[in-house]
Structure 1
Amino acid sequence: MIPVQHSPTSEGAPPRFRLLSALSYCAPLLVNGIVLPFFPIWLATHSFSDHEIGIILALPMVVRVLVAPIVAMIADRLKERADVLLWSGGLSLLTAIALYWTTSFWPVTIVYTLQGATFAPYLPVVESIVISGVRRWGLDYGSMRVWGSIAFIVSTLGGGQLISRWGGEMVLPVMVFGFTMTVVMAIFCPRIGPTRRRGQPINIPAATGSGLREPHLLLLLIGVAIQQSSHAVLNAFSSIYWHQLGFSGAEVGLLWSAGVASEVTVFFLSKRLNRRFNAWTLIRFGCAVSVCRWILFPMNTGLAGFFLLQCFHGFTYAFVHTGVQRRIVATVQETQESSAQGAYYFYVGMAMALMTIAAGYLYALLGVVSFYVMALVALCGLGLVISAYYLQPQRLLSGGKTREAT
């Protein structure tokens, strides 16, 4: 499990911290549950080409990864990190409204890129607040994070039904509703004060010195970023691909929801998994399943087959994400928490942006065969993760284990 810190004082968690943290995850993932699977369909409805869709989806990722670490470092120095969420949600809401008046390539690209910049810090800052609660009061990360995944499922299933009935034009109204909820939750998000310097995790060594500059952590984040970028073709073109195979909007929503439902299962079982497997095992296994998933994806196995492949998402994302969070907690101090989350999102976002641009050209050239390329990408990420494991400082404990094996 994610290790906890003994608080320097004897206070417990603020009232309703778990509830408000769970709802704070729900708001941004409600947005993602519409934007990720269905915004490409909105673009296709307006006759954008595969190349244009790839560029429109990728540019916000580039801007996002440049903005998120900077804002995250600022958040670490604020009295209340949650204050960042209000302007992030508010400005993002304005960009969603602006999309009503943009239907050609450059206006859509500019507005959607601005949305990527304004929304970039929202989830990393929520993540840093929750992880601080885990450190200080020994709360269970998975039990709070899981509700964001549930919100994604509800959003995706509901969005699929709306699109089946009224078409791709329903994407924008639901997007506006989602961003409105991010503003509401920015007001009610837990406010727990600035990050702390005192207190150390139990069962792991004190996070010291270089922290974010630890070579093994940097290589791990890069390796995971490459592995996560192998989802680019899935994110950008799977909905279009399934529509071409004759699946309805509701069935596409069901397939996306299956992936997130598998995340929910992993987060619900996180305590048990973390007691049995260390972080490195979760990450390596998730990367290996990615390779198998993309090899199988081009095969038209029908709704049931794609449903099963989508269930692999619990391994290819949730296992890896949970493992990385544990490694961050074991390596950096709480004073660097938002910065660490920003760095994580930077590497993943930059790799995803570049791969999404490439995905537009790959899909136009190769079609679903592009997933075989994604299998090679995931394999490269796995190789870097294995290399990062062997770069850990070897501080031997009794029994021959390392302190860094958490």
Structure 2
Amino acid sequence: MILSDSAPPVLHLAPRHFTTRLALLFSGPLLVNGFAMPFFPIWLATLHMSDPEIALILAVPMFLRVFTAPLAGVLADRMGERTRLLHVSAVLSLLTALALFVSDSFWFILVVYTLQGGVYSPYVPIVEAIALSGVRRWGFDYARMRLWGSIVFIVATMIGGELISLVGGSMVLPAMALSFAVMIGITFLAPKVGPPRRPSTLTSLAAPQPKALRRRDVQTLILGVGLVNGSHGMLFAFSALYWSKIGFTGTEIGLLWSAGVLAEIAMFVVAKPLLLRMSLWVMILSGAALAVGRWLLFPLDLGFGGYLALQTMHAFTYALMHTGLQNQLVRQVPEEQEAGAQGLYFFYTGLSTAVCTFISGYAYAWYGASGFYAMSAVAALGVSLIVAAWTMQRGPAMTRRAA
């Protein structure tokens, strides 16, 4: 849960229908992702690309976003009115989606999809920044705005699953292009909130790290959680291909993806009462440890019901751990360094996900679903770093009590 801070009062009123307009802005990219995340790898497979080639096409844009998103954050903050860059990002994203119709060669798709990753990367962070401006200045409910994007993602995934069953992978590019066109239209509804009062999360990556973020315990904690997040890379890249291979229909694949998102939403809904009953370290470590088990179970012959249950673990392996980390950072990092902490989290998670996605191409090509054991090892490394961070923070606390 995100609450407004104690920023100085503003004289102007909030833009009209701010919450509704932000809900639509969040829905645009999640409409795209609802088609692209589960089914773009299936389209690549219809072009007879190898698993390492698919992984490379998916991973390279992730690497690029880690470095282009901070630059875009700097540019957006300096432009004053961030909605200008929002329009540019949406239009260029559509152009790259249309360019994918030109050729089905590996190198062409790699270059164009990488460009798409670069021009698409500023969109969500800018929308997040506008939403948080509304939270800080006028007290709007962030969760209410963000929730509708998740609902749109589920609807798009279910529609995509039906279309995959009916027409196959050929539906992916038209669905993506149409979604980007819708996204362009939505950008004209973006409320103008003026220049930011503090640097954005991504802008902070381009600045030297403040003292609190140089502490070994904080760095180790964020890196550990970033690795656990990154271990989901193989799920994002190859789960739909694997489920299709073992006979699941497009509708069933859509249901499996939707189950993970619904579980995530449910966890965020109950997060506030959980924070009153659970230690933050228990939240972080239990989510990370369950990720290890999730990837160990994935290669087993679980059937549709088993995989449905496994997908609901996303509530723990991402949402619970993420909630615990964010609240731990609130305790460990001063408010004026909040953007820097979030920027560091974005960097470690993005880089880990890109590396794991690249590795997963070879793991899946060589070992099939058993390649998820490699993701379990990555998550286990993340758990060990989280435990190390807990030990580092516990040591000084015990020293102070003894004194």
* Aligned counterpart, 1:38: 39
What are structure 1's unaligned runs of at least 5 residues? 199-207, 401-406
Alignment of 1:189-200 (within 5 A): 189-196=190-197
TM-score, structure 2 as length reference = 0.87
Secondary structure, counterpart of 1:102 in structure 2: coil
Supply the distance in 1 between the matched residues of 2:309 and 2:290 (Cα, whole angstroms): 13
Change (3 A) 1:21 1:376: same
Contact 2:237/2:357, CA 8 A, preserved across alignment: yes
* Aligned counterpart, 1:184: 185
Q: Could you give the per-residue CA deviations for residues 1-20 of structure 1, whole angstroms, max 9, x where no partner exists?
A: 43431231166754323222
Q: Could you give the per-residue CA deviations for residues 264-301 of structure 1, whole angstroms, max 9, x where no partner exists?
A: 21233333334444654433222121111111111111
Q: Percent identity?
A: 47
* Aligned counterpart, 1:299: 300
1:108 and 2:109 aligned: yes
Query: RMSD of the alignment, in Å?
Result: 2.7
Supply the distance in 1 between the matched residues of 2:136 and 2:327 (Cα, whole angstroms): 11
Secondary structure, counterpart of 1:167 in structure 2: helix
Supply the distance in 2 between the matched residues of 1:106 and 1:115 (Cα, whole angstroms): 14
How many residue pairs match? The answer is 388
Q: Could you give the per-residue CA deviations for residues 97-126 of structure 1, whole angstroms, max 9, x where no partner exists?
A: 100112011001100111111111222222
Secondary structure, counterpart of 2:345 in structure 1: helix
One-letter amino acid of the counterpart of residue 248, structure 2: F
Change (3 A) 1:149 1:283: farther
Secondary structure, counterpart of 1:100 in structure 2: coil
Contact 1:223/1:385, CA 8 A, preserved across alignment: yes
Deviates more, 1:284-293 or 1:303-312: 284-293
* Aligned counterpart, 1:368: 369
Alignment of 1:71-220 (within 5 A): 71-196=72-197, 210=211, 212-220=213-221
Change (3 A) 1:306 1:197: closer
Supply the distance in 1 between the matched residues of 2:344 and 2:122 (Cα, whole angstroms): 11
Supply the distance in 2 between the matched residues of 1:28 and 1:167 (Cα, whole angstroms): 23
Contact 2:356/2:375, CA 8 A, preserved across alignment: no
Supply the distance in 1 between the matched residues of 2:353 and 2:104 (Cα, whole angstroms): 25
Q: Could you give the per-residue CA deviations for residues 229-273 of structure 1, whole angstroms, max 9, x where no partner exists?
A: 111221111111111111111111111111111112123333333
* Aligned counterpart, 1:355: 356
Deviating 4+ runs (over 6 angstroms)? 393-396
Contact 1:211/1:333, CA 8 A, preserved across alignment: no
1:7 and 2:7 aligned: yes
Contact 1:142/1:270, CA 8 A, preserved across alignment: no
Q: How many Å apart are 1:361 and its aligned residue? A: 0.7
Supply the distance in 1 between the matched residues of 2:210 and 2:220 (Cα, whole angstroms): 17
Alignment of 1:283-322 (within 5 A): 283-322=284-323
Contact 2:10/2:137, CA 8 A, preserved across alignment: no
Contact 1:83/1:186, CA 8 A, preserved across alignment: no
TM-score, structure 1 as length reference = 0.87
Supply the distance in 1 between the matched residues of 2:54 and 2:311 (Cα, whole angstroms): 23
Contact 1:96/1:176, CA 8 A, preserved across alignment: yes
Supply the distance in 2 between the matched residues of 1:306 and 1:247 (Cα, whole angstroms): 11
What are structure 2's unaligned runs of at least 5 residues? 200-208
Contact 1:262/1:312, CA 8 A, preserved across alignment: yes
